[in-house]
Structure 1
Amino acid sequence: MSWRLLVVVAAIALVFYATSRVQLLFIALFLALVFTAVLRPAVELFARVMPRPLATALALLGGVLVLLGMLTYVGVSVAGQWSKLSDQFGDGIDDIIDFLENGAPFTVTTDQINQWIENGRTWIEEHGGELASEAAAGAGSVVEILTALALATFCAVFFLTSGRQMWAWFLSQLPPAARESWRVAGGAGWYTFSGYTRGILIIAVSDGLLAFILLSIIGVPLAAPLAVLVLIGAFIPLVGAPAAMVIAMIVALAANGPIQAAVVGIGIALIGQFEGHVLQPLVMGKQVALHPVVIAVVVLGGTLTAGILGAVIAVPLVAVAWTVFSRLRTPESEVDPEDVEDPSETFDGEGDRA
C-alpha cells in the first residue's frame, strides 16, 4: 500500500507540475468547459428549431448580453448613489470613531487613527516602486485574462457545436478493450461537472437576488454591487458568499449604523441556512456527493495551492474525480456504521482492552 500511495502522490505531483507550466491553457480549457456546461441546455433548446451552429451563436450572444446588462446595471447604480453614499459614509465613519472613543470596551483616539493613516501613507511612499511593479504585473494579468477568455470562448463554440463528435473521435483512438471504461468515466465525470457548474450558477444567482432584496429592504447603499459581489463569492463554496456579505455588513455599519449592520448579519445567517438546507440539496441533488468536511478541506487546499483560482476549481475537480472513482470501482462490501465500535469504549485509559 505504501508503494501504491507513493505512485499516486507522484502522479498527482506530475499533474500539478504540468498544469503550472501551462496554467493559462488550463484556465482557458476549464472556462470553456464551464461555458459549455452552462450554455448547453440553451443550445439544445434552440437546436430544435434552427441549425446547431446558429443555436450556439445565439446562446453565446445571449450569455454575453446578460453579463453586460448586469455590469451596466451595477455601474448605473453606483453612479446614481455615489454622492449620497459619500455623505452617508462620512457620517458613518464619524459615528464609528465616536463609538471607539467613548462607547467601546477599548479606547481608540482620533490621534491614534490619524497616526495609523500617516503610517499607511508613509508605507505607500516607501514602497511606491514595488506597488508600481505590481500594478504593471496586474496590467499583464489583465491581458492574460482576456487571452484566456478569448481561447475559452473559441473552444466552447466547438464543444457546443460538435462536442459529441469530438468525444467519439477520442474514444476511437483508444484500444477497443479500454473504450468502455473511458466512456463510462467520461460520462460520469461530465454529468458531475455539468451538474455542479449549473447548480453553483443557480445558487449564486439565488444568493445574489436574496442579498439584493435584503440590502434593499434594509436600505444599505450600493445594494446592487454588493449583491453582485455575493453572487461572485458564491462560486467559492462555504466561505465565498458569507465573506461578501461581511463586506455588506461593513458598508451598512459605516452608512447606517450598528443596528442595520446587525440586521444584515442576521440576514447572512438566514441566507446561509436557506442555501445549505434547501438550495444545495434541491439543485445539486446527488451530482456532487461530497461531505461538507471534504468541501472545507478541498477549498482550503485549493486556496493554499493556487489562491482564489484554486478555491474556485478545487471542488468541481475533486467531485469529478470522486464520481469517476466511485463509478469504476467495485467494492466487495460496505461497512455499516452500526458495526463500528467507539474507540473510547474499546480501550480504557491505560491502553488495555476494556
Structure 2
Amino acid sequence: MNEPSAPSAPPSWRTGRVGRIAVRCVQFLIIALTVWVVGQVLTRVAFVVVPLAVAILLAALFVPGVAFLTDRGVPRPLAATGVLLLGIAALGGLVLFMVTSVINGLPDLGARLSESVQELRQWLTTFGLRPEQFDELIAQGREWMSRNQSGLVSGVWGVLSTAGAVLAGLLLVLFLLIFFVYDGERLWRGLLSPLPRSSREQVFAAGQRAFRDLTSFVRTTLVVALIDAVGIGLGLWITGVPLVLPLAGLVFLGAFVPVIGAFVTGIVAVLVALVTQGFVVALIVAGVVIAVQQLEGNVLEPLLMSHAVKLHPVAVILGVAIGADLAGVIGALLAVPAMLTVRSATRPLVTADNAPPRRST
C-alpha cells in the first residue's frame, strides 16, 4: 500500500511577514472596492434607499410592541395595526411639534444668535483677542459654510427636493413599514431563499442579531433625545432664557445625530443664554448641558443600551463626518445605524477570526 503523502507546505511567500502583509492588503483592497461599488449603486437609487432605511429604523421601533401584544394572545394583524396607528400618531405628533417649534422660533433664534456673536466678540477682546482676528475667524467660517453648503444641507435630500418626491418617499416609507412590522421575518427568509441551505441559517441569524441591536439603538436614541430636550428645556425655563420650546426642539432633533448633534445644539442654547441673560446665566446653562450629557453618557446609555450596541465615540464621530460628506443630513443620521448593523451582522465572523487556535491534545 502506498502511504498517504504529507500535506504540502504553504508557499514561502505566504509564510513570511511581508507575504502576510501583502495578502492582507489585497484583501483590504477587495473589500474597499466592494464597498465603493455598493456605495455607487446605493447613491444611484437613493430615492429608494432612503425610504427603505427610514422604514427599517421605524420597524425596529414598532416591532417589539407587536411582539409584546402577540405574546399575550392578541392576533397579529390586530396587534400590528394598533401599534402602527398608535406609533405613527405619537411619533408624528412629537416630531411635528418639535419641528414647528423650531421653525416658528427660527427668526427670533437667528436674531439672538447674531446678538450672541457680537456679545462674544466683545467678551473675547477682554482676553487679548483683537476684534479684527475674531472677524476674520467668523468670515472664514462663513466662507467654509457657503463653500460646503450643498454637501452639508442637500446631499441625498436633493433626491427629495420637490413636494411630490417628499410625498412619494413618505408613502413608500409607510408601505414598507406596514410589511416590515407585520411580516418582516418571513420577508427576510424569502429574501435569503436563493442562498445555499448550509449558509442560509447563518445569514438569517446575522440579520436577526443586527435588527435586535438596531432596535436597542433606536429605542435608546429616542429616549435620550426626549430626556435631553426635557432636561435642557427645564434648565432654560428655570434660568429665564427665552425661546425655550424652539431650543428644546432643536436639542431633540440634534440628539438623533450621536455625540455631535447634542453638543452643537447645546452650544446654541448657551449662546442664546449669553446674549439674553448674561455671562453668569450662560455658565449655568452650560453646566446644565454638561450635566445632561453626563447623565446621558454615564447613566442612561449603560441602562438602556446593551454592551453589544455601543460604539466608540471616535468611530461615531468619524462615521457621522463621512456620512455627512457623502449624503448630507441624511448621511449623518444614518451613518451610525449603518455601522451598527454591519458590526452586529459580522460580529461572529470577527470573533471567530480573532479566537486563539485550539491546542492539540
TM-score range, shorter chain: 0.7 to 0.9
Match of 1:12 in 2: 35
Given the alignment of the two structures, is residue 55 of structure 1 paired with residue 76 of structure 2, yes or no? no
Residue type at the aligned position of 2:246:
P
Match of residue 197, structure 1, among 218, 224, 229: 218
Give 3-state SS (helix, strand or coil) of 1:237's partner: coil
Aligned partners of 1:189 and 1:320 also within 8 Å: yes
Cα shift at 1:321 = 1.4
Aligned partners of 2:51 and 2:173 also within 8 Å: yes
Q: 2:102, 2:229 → 1: CA distance?
A: 17
Aligned partners of 1:181 and 1:328 also within 8 Å: no
Match of 2:275 in 1: 254
1:230-263 Cα shifts (integer Å, max 9, x gaps): 1111111111011011111222223222222221
Seq. identity, %: 29
Match of 1:147 in 2: 168
Aligned partners of 2:259 and 2:317 also within 8 Å: yes
Match of 1:160 in 2: 181
Cα shift at 1:290 = 2.4
TM-score, normalising length: structure 1:
0.75
Match of 1:41 in 2: 64
Number of residue-to-residue matches in the alignment: 312
Match of residue 326, structure 2, among 288, 297, 305: 305
Match of 1:22 in 2: 45
Residue type at the aligned position of 1:66:
A
The higher relative CO (CA closer than 8 Å, separation ≥ 6) is in 2
Q: 2:327, 2:315 → 1: CA distance?
A: 18
Q: 1:80, 1:177 → 2: CA distance?
A: 57
Match of 1:338 in 2: none
Aligned partners of 2:160 and 2:166 also within 8 Å: no
Matches within 5 A, 1:217-296: 217-296=238-317
1:310-335 Cα shifts (integer Å, max 9, x gaps): 22211121122122222234135459
Q: 2:208, 2:103 → 1: CA distance?
A: 47
Aligned partners of 1:31 and 1:149 also within 8 Å: no
Aligned partners of 2:60 and 2:215 also within 8 Å: yes
Residue type at the aligned position of 2:80:
T
Q: 1:18, 1:245 → 2: CA distance?
A: 37
Residue type at the aligned position of 2:353:
P
Structure 1 residues 8 and 238, CA, compared in 2 at 3 Å: closer, same or farther? same
Q: 1:302, 1:77 → 2: CA distance?
A: 27
Q: 2:26, 2:124 → 1: CA distance?
A: 63
Match of 1:331 in 2: 353
Given the alignment of the two structures, is residue 206 of structure 1 paired with residue 227 of structure 2, yes or no? yes
Match of 1:134 in 2: none
Give 3-state SS (helix, strand or coil) of 2:307's partner: coil
Aligned partners of 2:256 and 2:333 also within 8 Å: yes
Residue type at the aligned position of 2:292:
I
Give 3-state SS (helix, strand or coil) of 1:287's partner: helix
Residue type at the aligned position of 1:280:
E
Residue type at the aligned position of 2:59:
T
1:81-108 Cα shifts (integer Å, max 9, x gaps): 999x79x959x67993995699675576
Residue type at the aligned position of 1:211:
I
Q: 1:205, 1:80 → 2: CA distance?
A: 20
Given the alignment of the two structures, is residue 65 of structure 1 paired with residue 116 of structure 2, yes or no? no
Cα shift at 1:146 = 3.1
Q: 1:324, 1:313 → 2: CA distance?
A: 17
Structure 1 residues 232 and 175, CA, compared in 2 at 3 Å: closer, same or farther? same
Structure 1 residues 94 and 186, CA, compared in 2 at 3 Å: closer, same or farther? closer
Q: 2:205, 2:159 → 1: CA distance?
A: 42
Structure 1 residues 51 and 299, CA, compared in 2 at 3 Å: closer, same or farther? same
Residue type at the aligned position of 1:19:
L
Q: 1:196, 1:82 → 2: CA distance?
A: 30
Cα shift at 1:154 = 0.9
Match of 2:195 in 1: 174
Structure 1 residues 232 and 181, CA, compared in 2 at 3 Å: closer, same or farther? same
5+ residue gaps, structure 1, are 125-136, 336-354
Structure 1 residues 168 and 99, CA, compared in 2 at 3 Å: closer, same or farther? closer
Q: 1:271, 1:315 → 2: CA distance?
A: 21
Q: 2:206, 2:174 → 1: CA distance?
A: 25
5+ residue gaps, structure 2, are 1-22, 147-157
1:254-281 Cα shifts (integer Å, max 9, x gaps): 3222222221112221112111111222
Q: 1:96, 1:318 → 2: CA distance?
A: 40
Q: 1:58, 1:189 → 2: CA distance?
A: 25
